[in-house]
Structure 1
Amino acid sequence: MTETAKNDSSDLAQIKVAARKAASAARKTAKQAAGDKASESVADAFVRSLKPASGAIVSGFLPIGSEIDVLPLLEAARGVGCKICLPCVVTPAQPLVFRLWSPGDSLVTEAFGTKAPADSAPAVAPDILIVPMLAFDRAGYRLGYGGGFYDRSLEALRRTKSVTAVGVAFAGQEVDIVPRGVYDQPLDWIVTEAGAFRPAGEE
Structure 2
Amino acid sequence: MISRSDLRVSLRERRRALSADQQASAGKMLCDNLSVRPELTNSQHIAIYIANDGEINPDVLRDFLWNSGKQCYLPVIAQGGKGLLFVEYLPDTPLVLNRYGIPEPHFQAEREIAPEKLDVVLVPLTGFDEAGRRLGMGGGFYDRTLAFTRFSEKPILIGLAHDCQRVEAIPVEHWDIPMAGIATDRKYYSVP
Mapped pair 1:131 → 2:123: yes
CA RMSD of aligned residues (A): 2.2
The Cα shift of 1:71 comes to 1.1
Distance 1:50 1:196, change over 3 A: farther
Partner SS state of residue 3, structure 2: helix
| Structure 2 unmatched ranges of 5 or more | none
2:13 is matched with: 25
| Structure 1 unmatched ranges of 5 or more | 1-11
Distance (whole Å) between structure 2 residues aligned to residue 46 and residue 198 of structure 1? 12
Greater CA drift, 179-188 or 47-56: 47-56
2:97 is matched with: 109
Partner SS state of residue 179, structure 1: coil
Distance 1:140 1:198, change over 3 A: same
Distance (whole Å) between structure 2 residues aligned to residue 117 and residue 35 of structure 1? 24
Alignment of 1:1-150 (within 5 A): 15-29=3-17, 31-32=18-19, 34=22, 36-50=24-38, 52-53=40-41, 56-90=44-78, 91-93=80-82, 95-120=83-108, 122-124=111-113, 125=115, 126-150=118-142
The Cα shift of 1:57 comes to 0.8
Calculate percent identity across the aligned residue pairs. Answer: 24
The Cα shift of 1:80 comes to 2.2
Cα deviations across residues 120-154 of structure 1 (Å, max 9, x unaligned)? 25111321111111111001111111110011122
Mapped pair 1:156 → 2:148: yes
Equivalent pairs counted in the alignment come to 186
TM-score w.r.t. structure 2 length? 0.87
Alignment check: 8 A CA contact 1:42 1:192 kept? yes
Aligned structure 1 segments of 4 or more residues deviating by more than 4 angstroms: 157-161
Partner SS state of residue 140, structure 1: coil
Partner SS state of residue 32, structure 2: helix
From 158, 161, 186, the equivalent of 1:194 is 186
1:169 is matched with: 161
Alignment check: 8 A CA contact 2:39 2:120 kept? no
Alignment check: 8 A CA contact 1:108 1:117 kept? yes
TM-score w.r.t. structure 1 length? 0.83
Partner SS state of residue 19, structure 1: helix
Distance (whole Å) between structure 1 residues aligned to residue 178 and residue 88 of structure 2? 25
